[in-house]
Each structure stands twice: as structure tokens, then as C-alpha cells.
Structure 1
Amino acid sequence: MSISDRTFRTPQADLRLSQSSGSGIPIVMIHGSGSSRAVFARQFDSPLADAHRLIAFDLPGHGESSDARDPATAYTIAGLAQTTARLLDALGIDRAIIFGWSLGGHVAIELASFHHAVSGLVLTGAPPVSRGPLGMLRGFHANWDMLLASKKVYSERDVERFEALCFGDTASPSFREAIRRTDGRLRAGVARSMFAGGGADQKQVVEHASFPVAVINGEHDPLVRLSYFETVAYASLWEQCHVISGAGHAPFWEQPELFNPLLSRFAEAVVKQSTASPALQSQAR
């Protein structure tokens, strides 16, 4: 197994990407706000990378990708999903599992509302909320820490607090630098787009999905309401809403020995379903 890095130019940004040489169904991993593709290191350094074509990229304004050329349109949930779609098309991917964490989960749901390649969806730390402020309040804890998600300029104290919210005491030293590097205009733009109710109604997308949807959260996630996930009327929930014990907002990083087998099993279920019924790939989202 090998891992290669490339840069793709899209209309909105130059995206830095890593992918493994595994031959199984692609698993496209979308990171959260203030992070980068490096957060998925413990998936790349596992049997998943041998079994599947793992793909992770830095969102615009993050990591080694460029800032957006037009922040007003790119730094929204819909804009980030369109950029992701451009990347999938450039890579020639017509069938994939999309794994989205936190902001990446919301981007993944938006992507699933219009892109034919989504054959399975994995959501971690990303409640599929209805449009507008009320939906947000139902899916997320209402506390002062949530203001960090929309704050344009971070102090060093903000950087430290955001790191702790995302990773507890398990963060890699590089994660703090990734938070500092992030284009703060993205945080402000994404928050406005979610509160304004732009893009797809994420609750309806997940409730009407014909492809399998996996929900895997950390037991002690400080940002999202785990009880909310149980209220969603999933049409195709895989198994159950899984909760990783002893983990917070990033269980795939904090407890990969528990998370990775679930992701692997989900991938097997997606392949089995799509092989048994190929027509599902073209049904409505």
C-alpha cells in the first residue's frame, strides 16, 4: 500500500489531496472546521488504506489548500459541497462512501443531495439539522463555546479552546497549527449559511436517503446533542446510531481501534447493497 499526494485546481481553490492505493470502494473523508486531512492519519495508517481507496483533502482555507478565490460563494455549506463535487469529478469517481466529520459532515450531506456518486454516508459529529436557527438549536448544545464556530479572528486562547473542544487532550501538535492556519472568513461564512437556511434541508436529505447512512459519534461529544440523532426518521440507517465509548468530538482520531472496524463493516455493507441492487445508485437522494 502506498499513499500519494496531489494538488487539484478547482474554480474556487487549489485543493491538496492524499489517497491510498487500496482497490476497494473509495472512501472520501471530509474534515471539520479548523482541521485538515491530517486528522485522518489513523485511518490511513490502518488496514482500511489497503482495503479501500482512502481519499482525504484539505477544504478551501485549510491545511495545504489555498484560500477560496471567491469567499462569498465558496465559504458556505453549498459552496464547499460544490467544490467537493468538482474534486470527485476530476478524480473520475462515480461511486464512493462519503465520511464527513463535523463541518465535513454537513458538507457531505449537502453533497449527497445532488451528486450521483454518493453510495453511502458516514456522519460523525454532524447532526442532520433542518434549515434555520431552530434546527441548529435542536442538533447542537447551546453554549458560549459554539460562538467559536463563527468567530472570524481567533486569539491564541480561542485556538487552545477550539482544539480542546475538538480533540480533548489527544490532539497532535500539528492540529493547533491547522487551527491557526484556517481562513477565519470560512467560519463566519459557514455559520451565516447554516443559520440562514441556505442549501438543502439536511434532515430531509438523510431521512429520504436511499443509500445507507451510518451515524458514529463519540460518547462525550461536547458540541452535539446525541439525543437528537435518535429523533431523525432515517429511511436507511445502517444498524443503529453508534456511540464510541470514551471518545469526544473526533472518535475516529481518539479511538481508531473502535471506529475503524465500524467504518470497514459499513463499507462492506454498502458494497453488498449496491452489488445486490445497482439501481439504488441512481435513485433520488
Structure 2
Amino acid sequence: MAVAERTIRTSQADLHLSESSGLGMPILMIHGSGSSRAVFARQFDSPLADAHRLIAFDLPGHGGSSDAHDPATAYTIAGLARSAGELLDRLAIRRAIVFGWSLGGHVAMELASFHPAVRGLMLTGAPPVSKGLFGMLRGFHAHWDMLLASKKIYSERDAERFETLCFGDSASPTFRQAILRTDGRLRATVTRSMMSGDGADQRQVVEQAAFPVAIVNGENDPFVRLSYFEALHYGALWEHCHVVPGVGHAPFWERPDLFNPMLSRFADAVEAQSADGALVGQRRSQAG
């Protein structure tokens, strides 16, 4: 399967992306803080890339994308979601599944709150929290390592610790480089925006979603409370809250043999529902 790379200029940053040539419904993949599109290599190197148009891009301030022109607005959850939405518009994508991991999951939920192209949402390592500090505390474990999420400047030791938290002992050699490349202003700004309640109420987005929502987490995720996901009242939960055994924060990287079939099944379900909805709309139009 051929994978193309290119850079799309948006109002806040030049976004670098990788894109497969699959013909199925596009799947937009949004990585976590300190990462890059390279974390989805094991999805691109799978039948998913043949079946679907996989699109993975580097968020502003990450990987091969530029730093934001206006960090104060672009590095909030809402600002990052606007960049993702602008990317969808520039690519002329009208229907898409969005898979968000960690920070990317929170960006995906914000994107789903306003962009009409979102037809399905898969979240990994990203609890749909209500606005403000107390909402965050319900969804995340409170421990000293969480301070790394908001630290502006990383030492080599900080980068090593963050890499271990995200990937255990399975990290690619390039992942440390991605962590150190990240614009540290983003970490502080994102944390402030979540604690202050910037953007949509993510819990409401998920609980009131009219489109399918998939939840897939690692059994040993060091950041999120798995029990929190079970307590939500989902509007359209796909199957059930999935837990991948024996892995941590990045099950799609650690166990692609288990994760990729789930993403494939979810994509098929979303595509089928979207096709049914289009057919119903067409019949109503003809009847009118």
C-alpha cells in the first residue's frame, strides 16, 4: 500500500501528514502530546491502510508540522481542534471516522462537537471529562507524573520518563526525538485550557453523540481511570468499553494484532450506518 506525505498550510500552522490510498471511509488519526503521526505506523502497515484512507498528521508544534503562529490560541484544545477541522476542509473530506489517542482524543471530542464530517469517534487513553479541574480529577489518576503533562521544558530525564509512561518498554527509537522536538508551550497551554474549561464539555459530547463512539483502553494505562468510562451514559456506545489486556497507554502500538481488528470492525459499522443514513435521507427527499 502506497503512503503519501505532504504538508497542508492552515491558518495556525503548516501541518505535515501521511495518507494511505485506501478507498474506504477516511480515518483521521490524532496523536498524543509529545508524539507524532509516526506512532500510527502499525496501522499504516496493516490491511487497514488498504481498506480505508488513513490520514495521520502532526499536530501544531509536533513532528514535521510547524510551531503555531499564535500559541496562546492555537495550543488550546479548541485551537487544536480548529486546526484539525481546517485540515479536513482543505482535504475536502465530508465524512470521516476520527481516532484520537491521549491528547488527540480530547482534540477529537472537541472536533466532534462542531464539525459535520465526524461520523464516528474512537477514543484511547482520553476520558471524556466535564469542564474544569474536578471533571479532570474524575477521569485521570492524580500523581506526580501528571505534572509532566504541563511542564514547558523537558530534560532528557523528563523525556525518558514520559516515553516510559506512554509506551512502556516498547517505544521506537524515534519516539524520544518526537518528545524533545515538541513545542513545550503547548503542554502548558493545553493543561490550562482543560483546567479552565475551554471548549466543549467532552462528557456531554460523548453522552449525547448521535454517531457511534468506541472506547478502547489499555488494561494498565497509568494515566486514566478505567472505571470512569464505565460510569458514563453513552448515547451511542459501540459494543462496550474495550480493554486490551497486558498493555498500557498505547494499545494500538503495543498490541496492533488486537487493536487493528477492533478499529476495522468499528470502521465497517460506522460506514454501514452512514450509508443507511444517506439512503434514508435520499428516500425522504424523493418522497418530498
TM range (shorter): over 0.9
The unaligned stretches of length 5 or more in structure 2 are 282-288
For the residue of structure 2 that corresponds to 1:240, the secondary structure is: coil
1:114-133, Cα deviation, whole Å (9 max, x unpaired): 00000000000000000000
Amino acid at match of 2:18: S
CA distance in 1, matches of 2:279, 2:189: 37
For the residue of structure 2 that corresponds to 1:105, the secondary structure is: helix
Tell me the C-alpha RMSD between the 2 structures.
Answer: 1.0
CA distance in 2, matches of 1:84, 1:271: 21
Residue 67 of structure 2 corresponds to 67
Amino acid at match of 1:151: K
Residue 138 of structure 2 corresponds to 138
Identity %: 75
Residue 86 of structure 2 corresponds to 86
1:170-215, Cα deviation, whole Å (9 max, x unpaired): 0000000000000000000000000000100000000000000000
CA distance in 1, matches of 2:75, 2:159: 20
Distance 1:220 1:186, change over 3 A: same
Q: How does 1:97-136 map to 2 (within 5 A)?
A: 97-136=97-136
For the residue of structure 1 that corresponds to 2:239, the secondary structure is: strand
CA distance in 1, matches of 2:74, 2:54: 24
Q: Is the 8 A contact 1:133 1:195 kept in 2?
A: yes
Q: Is the 8 A contact 1:220 1:248 kept in 2?
A: yes
CA distance in 2, matches of 1:188, 1:269: 37
The structural deviation recorded for 1:278 is 2.7
For the residue of structure 2 that corresponds to 1:238, the secondary structure is: coil
Residue 226 of structure 1 corresponds to 226
For the residue of structure 2 that corresponds to 1:237, the secondary structure is: coil
Residue 190 of structure 1 corresponds to 190
The structural deviation recorded for 1:109 is 0.1
1:96-153, Cα deviation, whole Å (9 max, x unpaired): 0000000000000000000000000000000000000000000000000000000001
The unaligned stretches of length 5 or more in structure 1 are none
Deviating 4+ runs (over 4 angstroms): none
Distance 1:208 1:162, change over 3 A: same
Amino acid at match of 1:150: S
Residue 249 of structure 1 corresponds to 249
Amino acid at match of 1:139: G
Residue 216 of structure 1 corresponds to 216
Distance 1:261 1:66, change over 3 A: same
Distance 1:137 1:109, change over 3 A: same
CA distance in 2, matches of 1:170, 1:155: 21
Amino acid at match of 2:276: A
CA distance in 2, matches of 1:8, 1:100: 20
TM-score by length of 1: 0.97
CA distance in 1, matches of 2:280, 2:26: 17
Amino acid at match of 1:231: A
Q: How does 1:22-41 map to 2 (within 5 A)?
A: 22-41=22-41
CA distance in 2, matches of 1:87, 1:275: 24
1:213-254, Cα deviation, whole Å (9 max, x unpaired): 000000100000000000110010000000001110000000
- Pairs aligned (count): 281
Distance 1:280 1:232, change over 3 A: farther
Distance 1:236 1:146, change over 3 A: same
Amino acid at match of 1:140: F
Amino acid at match of 1:195: M
Residue 286 of structure 2 corresponds to none
The structural deviation recorded for 1:280 is 9.3
Q: Is the 8 A contact 1:274 1:280 kept in 2?
A: no
Residue 238 of structure 1 corresponds to 238
For the residue of structure 2 that corresponds to 1:8, the secondary structure is: strand
The structural deviation recorded for 1:279 is 8.2
Residue 53 of structure 2 corresponds to 53
